[in-house]
Structure 1
Amino acid sequence: MKSEGSSGGCSASAISVSGLGKRYQLGTSPQQGYQRLSESLLQWVRNPVKALSGSRSEAEDFWALQDVSFEVKQGDSVGIVGRNGAGKSTLLKILSRITEPTTGRLVLRGRVASLLEVGTGFHPELTGRENIYLNGALLGMQRSEIRSKFDEIVAFAEVDKFLDTPVKRYSSGMYVRLAFAIAAHVQPDVLIVDEVLAVGDAVFQQKCLGRMSELSKRQHTTVLFVSHQMEALLRLCQRGILLHQGRVVAEGTMEAVSREYHRAFASGRTSADCRTMQRAAFLRGQAVIDEVELEANGAGVPFAQRLIFRVYISRRGEASQIHLCWAIFSAGGHEVASSRVALPDQSRGGRFSVPHLRLAPGRYSVNFGIKSERGDEDLVEHALMFDVMANETSAEVWADSIRASTIPETELLEVLPA
């Protein structure tokens, strides 16, 4: 690992990574010849036969990162995405000089500030005031520099009432506010931020994103940002890197990497055969739902794009003036939108669209039902599941301002004949 001074030019490379790899050992290595008494006793209790034989489990190599290479220009904002266990946090720890790589070469230019875990660099027994000086010193600030930035840090963190309180009494949100305020006012050449910002509330997250954007655009600070909130990444980052099983599998614009992430890892159910699904006893069953389908590609539905459903039904008796009903639920089980559309008599279903539904990016499920003038004919719960994908439009609107209508417009596009 190598660190160099700031080059001063905006087009110079701030981070250069070549063939980076990090290996960990799982299990017990046969080469470990010394064990404490407590470890030997615990091993005997767990497996006395194995302990008496003296055999030990073989160590297994686990590569958290393999052959990772990329380059980040000074002043760029780069989002790093991937599923849990993809190697994102390991990469940031190497870039933050917390751990050494097993293989490869890393060059960092300038002062690096990182925010990886709640409370990192804080002493729980010290007050907020004392920890500002301690954490600032760990990030390379001189005492005079910390003193000149002190009021700005406190104002940003909004912890002025608790400055002389030991931080062990702080909430996780207060920890993060203070830690980010210090890191963001170091005036670093490289700012590295992990998912830790998710601990803060929506207002604070907006404030942090604004500060990171200001650092990138006005002070040419290089920002590396790991988050599962794709709207935040699209709003802040121009470029993206997708990691999977410790390797870089996609790199490019943030929007292109976002699409690739959804395409590769989408696990929704956009079509279903409902004939074998269980039904409630109170349903009349004179008209039932056979199949349902959401017209979408493998990656899901982009934000603000209309939803188009196909529903096939069977009629088993007299059920006139029927309505096809639907309801969309969030991942937390809350109904966010519902409506109905009338189907002509004798039809076998319909293809209909919901053109003006602006669902926040995330996972949703859909219930379908049939109502007639005599009552509830059929109901299929959670028949479909789909993802709404973040894009540049959703990043501009921001998730907290997106609300679905309770009864949105539903347009019947096509009647499926009998």
Structure 2
Amino acid sequence: MSDIILKAENISKQYRLGNVGSGTLRDDFKRSWAKIRGKEDPFLKVGAVNDCSQKSTEDYVWALRDINFEVQQGEVLGIIGKNGAGKSTLLKILSRVTAPSTGVIKSRGRIASLLEVGTGFNHELTGRENIFLNGAILGMTKTEISSKLDEIIDFSGCERYIDTPTKRYSSGMTVRLAFAVAAFLEPEILVVDEVLAVGDAEFQKKAIGKMQDISKGEGRTVLFVSHNMTSVRSLCSRGILLEKGLVKMSGSIQEVVEDYLAISNNRSIGKQLINKWLNITKITLNNSAKSQEFYNGDILKFDIEFQLLKDQREVAFCLCIYDESGSLIVALNTYHKNADFFKLQEGLHNVIIVLDRYILNNGIYIVDFFANDFEGNIYFQLKNALSFIIIDDNFRRGEFFKKKWNGAVSLLPEVIILK
């Protein structure tokens, strides 16, 4: 138990939709009096499940419901989930920005939070003044802040603008400075929401490296929320998956990320049907419809099962593979196999599209699927049809070069040596 630095017990948070308040001054007084005495809210209602995509007649919603977990000292915990799952609400409760409706948070040491751009900043003050202000909010003394001032300014990369009011900073500069303050003032627990996505690629790399140093080198604890699964997998050792305000899964970061990607893939193909004569019944990757990991030495086989409700002269299929940032990496299609495409009769068919080994580098990839004719008219499309993870097998690349290869794809060129 001595290694547990943070513990959440039965944390729930309920919000009222629409207007805030009980409706009468008397009921507001009852609610405040119960809170002062440490009693449960007398007007706490059952409420609906937190699903922002569904219409509901309920006035109350549970943003979080019965959340329980423990964090060890020096651990990096990743908290992931879809938008609206309750991640930011949980971090606000852990940071004591807002109070839970039920439950209790137990922690040891100082907690520094980076929840949104400019948290704890007064934008009329200069960057230097905000460093001292934010440090004081985090419980640091002026001497302690002054001893770290040069390191904070250097890491943020804002030295030229440090005596300029932060209202003239870009959002990326503000995040840089805010993260530098939170990281260098040595809190026991660092809570980071997905604000790092505002920064550029160079700063994101620096920030992740700093968080690794904080956890591994200094033995401090980091709670990290992000939609960037590559960053989550490289930084975190354990993860929590939130879904509709509930803990769906807790375990190793690899298992949690796989489960999260599987949720994203769990969709009805039939809803994406464009032409009534073509129906995609199943899309699998190496005989699995779920998200999974592959080595870069594995051959990837995309198997599309489809049904034609009438004879069709021209049918072509295309798989567009994107990296996690949404950039198109490679498009696989059946155009080149037949000038007239596939001439198919009514019935059930399968087409298999193969991607050779050692094409994709390490990372997380998302697949969009299309079916169209020679003119480019789309018969069928399904975005986010599949997602998968590529890891290095340390055979052709990792051990040979003693480092990971850059870029998303890796092709072996034909080399001609002229003598």
Question: Does TM-score exceed 0.5, indicating one fold?
Answer: yes
Q: Which amino acid aligns with 1:354?
A: L
Residue 339 of structure 1: CA displacement? 4.8
1:326 aligned onto 2:318: yes
1:166 aligned onto 2:151: no
For residue 9 of structure 2, give the secondary structure of its aligned residue in structure 1: strand
Q: Which amino acid aligns with 1:342?
A: K
1:32 aligned onto 2:35: no
Q: Who is 1:45 aligned against?
A: none
1:212 aligned onto 2:201: no
Q: Distance in 2 between matches of 1:201 and 1:223?
A: 21
Q: Who is 2:44 aligned against?
A: none
In structure 1, stretches of 5+ residues that fail to align are 1-8, 35-57, 279-288, 409-418
1:367 aligned onto 2:356: no
Query: For the Cα contact (< 8 Å) 1:18–1:70, is it kept in 2?
Result: yes
For residue 276 of structure 1, give the secondary structure of its aligned residue in structure 2: coil
Q: Who is 1:4 aligned against?
A: none
Residue 342 of structure 1: CA displacement? 3.2
| Identical residues among aligned pairs (%) | 37
Query: For the Cα contact (< 8 Å) 2:319–2:367, is it kept in 1?
Result: no
1:20 aligned onto 2:22: no
Q: Who is 2:37 aligned against?
A: none
Query: For the Cα contact (< 8 Å) 1:25–1:59, is it kept in 2?
Result: no
Residue 388 of structure 1: CA displacement? 2.1
Alignment of 1:101-140 (within 5 A): 101-140=100-139
Q: Who is 1:351 aligned against?
A: 352
Q: Distance in 2 between matches of 1:66 and 1:249?
A: 11
Q: Distance in 2 between matches of 1:116 and 1:14?
A: 20
Q: Distance in 2 between matches of 1:82 and 1:115?
A: 18
Q: Distance in 2 between matches of 1:189 and 1:201?
A: 27
1:308 aligned onto 2:302: yes
Alignment of 1:239-388 (within 5 A): 239-267=238-266, 276=275, 293-296=282-285, 297-300=288-291, 302=293, 304=296, 306-310=300-304, 326-328=318-320, 330=322, 334=328, 336-340=330-334, 342=337, 350-356=351-357, 357-358=359-360, 360-368=363-371, 380=379, 382=381, 385-388=384-387
Distance 1:345 1:193, change over 3 A: closer
Query: For the Cα contact (< 8 Å) 1:336–1:405, is it kept in 2?
Result: no
Residue 161 of structure 1: CA displacement? 0.4
Of stretches 169-178 and 240-249 in structure 1, the one that deviates more from structure 2 is 240-249
Q: Distance in 2 between matches of 1:64 and 1:339?
A: 43
Superposition RMSD on alpha carbons, in Å? 4.1
Q: Which amino acid aligns with 2:303?
A: F
Q: TM-score, normalised by structure 2?
A: 0.73
Query: For the Cα contact (< 8 Å) 2:15–2:61, is it kept in 1?
Result: yes
Residue 173 of structure 1: CA displacement? 0.2
Q: Distance in 1 between matches of 2:386 and 2:218?
A: 37
List per-residue Cα deviations over 1:361-405 (Å, max 9, x = no partner).
Answer: 35431334677xxxx7986463574232347659x9999944347
List per-residue Cα deviations over 1:324-357 (Å, max 9, x = no partner).
Answer: 6635164968573235463699997643421334
List per-residue Cα deviations over 1:177-196 (Å, max 9, x = no partner).
Answer: 00000100011111100011
1:403 aligned onto 2:408: yes
Query: For the Cα contact (< 8 Å) 1:272–1:383, is it kept in 2?
Result: no
The number of equivalent residue pairs is 358
Query: For the Cα contact (< 8 Å) 2:366–2:388, is it kept in 1?
Result: no
Q: TM-score, normalised by structure 1?
A: 0.73
Residue 224 of structure 1: CA displacement? 0.4
Q: Who is 1:229 aligned against?
A: 228
Distance 1:324 1:85, change over 3 A: closer
Residue 277 of structure 1: CA displacement? 5.5
Query: For the Cα contact (< 8 Å) 1:272–1:384, is it kept in 2?
Result: no
List per-residue Cα deviations over 1:146-174 (Å, max 9, x = no partner).
Answer: 11111110110000000111000000000
Q: Which amino acid aligns with 2:95?
A: S
In structure 2, stretches of 5+ residues that fail to align are 27-56, 414-419
For residue 360 of structure 2, give the secondary structure of its aligned residue in structure 1: coil
Q: Distance in 1 between matches of 2:18 and 2:317?
A: 55
Distance 1:382 1:141, change over 3 A: same
Query: For the Cα contact (< 8 Å) 2:264–2:384, is it kept in 1?
Result: no
Distance 1:182 1:391, change over 3 A: farther
Q: Distance in 2 between matches of 1:126 and 1:384?
A: 46
